[in-house]
Structures are given as C-alpha cells and as structure tokens.
Amino acid sequence: MATARLRDVAERAGVSIRTVSNVVNGYAQVSEETRRRVEKAVAELGYRPNLLARNLKRGRTGLLALVVPELDVPYFSELARAVIAEARTYGYTVVIDQTDGEPDRERELIMRGASAALFDGVILSPLSLSQADLARRDGSDPLVLLGERIAESPYDHVAIDNVAAAYTATEHLLDLGRTRIAAVGDQPYDTGETAQLRTRGYRDAHAARGLAVDESLVVATPRFHRSDGAAAMAALLDRPDGPPDAVFCYNDLLALGAIRTLLTRGLRIPEDVAVVGFDDIEAGRYNTPTLTTISPDKAAIARLAVQRITGRLGDGPQQPPVELWAPHRLEIRESTAGS
C-alpha cells in the first residue's frame, strides 16, 4: 500500500473519483451518507493528497523559499524565524535553504525555485550572486532580495540603511570620546556592497567632525564569523602604535570574537576598548559584557519581504522593482556603557 490515491479511495467507497475529491476539499454538497463512506475509506487507506499533483493542477504550492548563505549565523536564523512567522499569517509555509554563499547554489536556487513552480516565491539573501547572474532574468518571478544589494537587478530589495546605521554606531563611539576607532569587517569592492556601505557610514561620521580616518584601522575580514573577529582583533592589538580605543564590528559575531580576544589579552571593555556590533543577535544580549549593537528590525524586514512577494503573486499588473528600507536603532549595552 505504498500510497493510496484518490482512485483507490473512490473504488473502496464505491463512488467516483470526483466525489472523493469533493469530500476531501469540502467542495460542493455531499450527502451525509456519502461523506461518511468516503471518510471511512480515506481513514482505512491512510489516504493523503499528493501535493505535487494538486499543486500542478492548482498552479500554486503555498510554499515560499527563504535562501540564506549560512543558517548557523544567528542573524540569518533569527531572520528566518521572523520570515516564517510573517509568512504564516498569509497562509504560506516557508522552506529554507542554505547556500554557503556558493554562487552555483544561489544561482541554482533562483532557477529552480523562482520559476520552476516548486515555490510560489523566493526570498533570497545573496552573498556572492553577481549582477550578471540576475541580468538575464526579467524580474517577472516573485523574488525579493534581502540585504546585499545587486545593482540593476529587476527585483525588489529590502534592507536597512547601512550607511546611516554605521554612521550612528561610529558617532556613538565618538561621543564617548574615543579617537582611535577601528572598523572590522570591510570587504573588497566586488565581494560585498553592504560592507562598503558600512565603511562609508564610518567615514562619514568621522568627516562630519572633521576627523581623519586612520586607514590602517579599517580592516577587512575573510568572512563574518567569531574566528575572523578574534583574528582581526589580535592583529590590531599587535600593531606597533598600540591598540585602538574602540572597535566597530560589521556584525555581532565579529564583535564577540573580538571581545574574546580582548578579554584574553587582559583588556577591559569598555574602559580600554569599547565595542559595537551589528545585527543584535541573542548571543550579544547574554554575552559578558553585553554587546552594544545596531539592531535591524528583523520583523520589519520579514514583513516587507513577504508583503512584496505576496503582492506580486496576484495577477495584477507587474509593478516596477522597489527599494525598501526597514528601520534600525542603536542598542546601547555594556560593551560601550560599562556595567
């Protein structure tokens, strides 16, 4: 009894396939008697509709895909939670896939997902996807890009204002009287625009006060994990001209790694070095010291993304792609404010 089909149920209940379908879906009028017979047969055979077939016929699946680079980066798993919750209010189920930032996987998932009918829509947080990868697409698929922006893409884009956020973070450190503020997490030009926007905010905040940026304090990291932050911090501490008195990390994991290095080396936070992160992940709220950070409104990001997707699902006229900004705020905690 591999899998019972509508036909098997119909046979057993002595009615037509169509009637079984009606019962299962609650369509039309069905006599009490017939309904009972069908339901009995359904139960006995353990029938469950084949969603592939149903969706093929109906033209929709009720599934949204959320594609992120790394699930075990807390920012993405927390974002995933928000997206799942938001999608559920629209009756959608979210399935998640992880690309590890591999361009092939990201590309493949766009192809498969966006228009291969397995998913009704795709929310993609790209890491390595290039403009060329999207250029061929005409934007008619229900696809929303999160975070990393891709120039000239024909798709909606949801993010926070990275320049303003980085500006605020840097300003906060400047307000504390710090003068040698390191920026950790820069990326080379073609790798990530987001990191560069944050560097721009960092520079702008300095410029607004007429301060020059010590270029050697702007350090790039290969990735955005704790180990990268720990390594970058170690390198900063080993510099001949002494440690910085503050660090702005481009995400919380970098910041937590940096904090670990600082504490290991016997430095005090924030007295010796103040630390600001980015993302407001839960780990930062329970770290010792707790982490000051830029808190992007993940619920808002999820809401905007899901709304755009569902908005595009209707048959209405295609709207031009839009750029949406979710709010953010600075969350001040022990790593800059003392305990």
Partner DNA sequence: GGAGCTTATTGCAACGATGCAGGTTCCCGG
Partner DNA sequence: CCGGGAACCTGCATCGTTGCAATAAGCTCC
Task: Return residues touching DNA (CB under 7 A).
Answer: 3, 5-7, 15-19, 21-22, 24-25, 27-31, 33-35, 47, 49-50, 53-54, 56-59
286-312: b or e for each residue (b if 16 or more CB lie within 10 Å)? ebebbbbbbbbbbebbbbbbbbbbbeb
**Which residues, in sequence order, are CB contacts of 226 under 8 Å at separation 6+?**
253, 254, 256, 257, 260
Taking the C-alpha atoms of residue 9 and residue 43, their distance in angstroms, rounded to an integer, is 9
Binding track, positions 177-216, relative to its own copies; x by CB under 8 A: ----------------------------------------
Residues in region 222-251 near its own copies by CB under 8 A? 225-227, 230
Q: For its own copies, which stretch binds (CB under 8 A), given 125-133, 135-143, 214-222, 300-308? A: 135-143
The window from 131-139, 179-187, 232-240, 301-309 that contacts its own copies (CB under 8 A) reads 131-139
Q: 3-class DSSP state for residue 113?
A: helix
In the complex with DNA, the residue whose CB is nearer, 136 or 188, is: 136
Q: Residue 3 Cβ, how far from DNA at the closest point, in Å?
A: 6
What is the C-alpha to C-alpha distance for residues 137 and 114, in angstroms, rounded to an integer?
10
Pick from 314, 299, 294, 288: nearest CA to 81: 299
Q: How far is CA 112 from the centre of its chain?
A: 19
Segment interacting with its own copies, rule: CB under 8 A, options 50-58, 175-183, 187-195, 234-242: 50-58
Among 194, 287, 295, 335, binds its own copies (CB under 8 A): 287
Q: Tell whether residue 53 is a contact of its own copies (CB under 8 A).
A: yes
Binding of its own copies at residue 70 (CB under 8 A)? yes
**Would you say 85 or 174 has its CB closer to its own copies?**
85
Question: In this structure, what token pair is assigned to residue 162?
Answer: 């990275």
What is the arrangement of strands in the sheet containing 328-331, beginning at the earlier edge strand?
218-220, 181-186, 246-249, 274-278, 292-296, 328-331
CA–CA gap between residue 237 and residue 244 (Å, rounded):
8
**Does the footprint of its own copies cover residue 51 (CB under 8 A)?**
yes
Binding site for its own copies (CB under 8 A): 1-3, 46, 48-53, 55-56, 61, 63, 65, 70-72, 74, 77-78, 80-81, 84, 93-98, 111-112, 115-118, 136-138, 140, 225-227, 230, 256-257, 259-260, 263-264, 282-283, 285-288, 339
